Amino acid sequence: MKLDARNNSKDAAATVARQFEGLFVQQMLGAMRSASNIDAGQHSSYMDFYQEMYDKQLAQSIAGQDRLGVAKLIMQQIPGGADTTQSPSAAEPAQQPVIRPAPRPTALSPQATRLEATTAAMPAGGVLLSRVEDDDFAETGRIERSNSRWQKPENFIADIWSDANAAARQLGVSPELLVAQAALETGWGRHTMKFDDGRNGYNLFGIKAGGDWQGPALSRHSLEYRDGILQNQVSRFRAYRSPAHSLSDYVDFIQSNPRYRQALSSNGDDHAYIHAIHDAGYATDPHYADKVIGILGGELLQQTLAGINSGVSSYG
C-alpha cells in the first residue's frame, strides 16, 4: 500500500480513506463504551483486551461496507481523487450496519498479541498446525497432562512455578513476572499451541521459529498490529518437550539477542524489564507491557502464589 501511495495510486488512497473511517468508528465505539456503566465485579483487564480487539474488528468491518460516507468525503478532498467507494443504489435504501454487543469475557479469558513472540487470540477458523518436525520430540510418548490440567489457571501456575524460579534467576527478574507473561501469551495455559494430534507444543512465550531454529515447529494464525491495525497472519512457532524447555529457551532468546541488552540491565525492576523488551520489539500490541503488569499485580496470580508458597495445595 505504501508503494502504491508513492506512485499516487488511487486504490491506495481509497484504502487509506477506509482505514481512517475505521479508526473514526473505533473512536466512537470507545467513547460510547467509556460512557456506559459497567459492573465493577465484571470488569477486568481481560475484558478490556477483548473489548478493544472486538471494537477494532467491528470498526474495520463497518468501514469496509462503505455505508457511513466518511471515506467518500475524504476521497473527495484529495486533489484528483476519484470516488472509488461503492454507494447503494438510489432505488434501494441504505442498510444500516448492525452493531451487536461483544460477548462479555470471563475474568480468566486469554489474551495476547506478539511480533517475535505472539500467540494472540484465535481468529475464526482456528489454527493451522504442522506435523512434528523432530523425531526426538515425537518419541517422548508421555501423557500430555497439561491439556486437561491447565483448564484451571491455578494448575498452570503451580506446574511452571519451579521452572519459572530457575529462569528468573538467570534473567534477574521475579518468577512472578515470567508467570504473568506466560499467562498473557497462553491464556493461563488453556490456549497453548498444539500439534494436530493434540500434543502440547509448550510454547509459553510465543517465540517464533526463525531460520536459525533447528527444533520442532508448528504453524498457526496470529493477530499482529501493523501500523496500528490488527491483522491476521500465519507464522511458524517453536515447539518444546516441556514447560521447562520453553522457559530455558526463553532465557537463551533474551540473553542472546543484543536488542534486549537494556532489559537485562533492569536490576530486578520487573516493570522496567517488561517495558524494555516491549520497546525493543518483543510485541506489536501497544499495550503489551501494561497487560503483563496488570496480570502481575492481579488477584488471581497473587492469591495462587500465596497458596503455593504457604504449602497449601488444592490442585489436581
Residue-level pLDDT at 30: 75
Residue-level pLDDT at 97: 46
Residue-level pLDDT at 256: 96
User: In the chain, which residues have pLDDT < 50?
Assistant: 39-42, 83-144, 313-316
Element (H, E) at 6: helix 2-6
Residue-level pLDDT at 44: 54
Residue-level pLDDT at 71: 73
Which pTM value belongs to this model? 0.55
Q: How many CB atoms lie within 10 A of CB 24?
A: 17
Going by C-alpha positions, the residue among 198, 205, 35 that lies closest to residue 127 is 198
Residue-level pLDDT at 143: 36
Q: What is the dihedral of CA 291, 294, 300, 304, to 10 degrees?
A: 100
Element (H, E) at 219: strand 217-226
Residue-level pLDDT at 239: 95
Give the model confidence (pLDDT) of 5-29 as tens digits. 566 666 667 777 777 787 778 787 7
Q: What is the dihedral of CA 24, 34, 303, 166, to 10 degrees?
A: 20
- Residue 292 CA to residue 44 CA, distance in Å, equals 13
End-to-end CA distance of the chain: 52
Residue-level pLDDT at 113: 37
Structural domains of the chain, with CATH? 2-77 (no CATH), 135-309 (1.10.530.10)
Residue-level pLDDT at 140: 38
Residue-level pLDDT at 293: 97
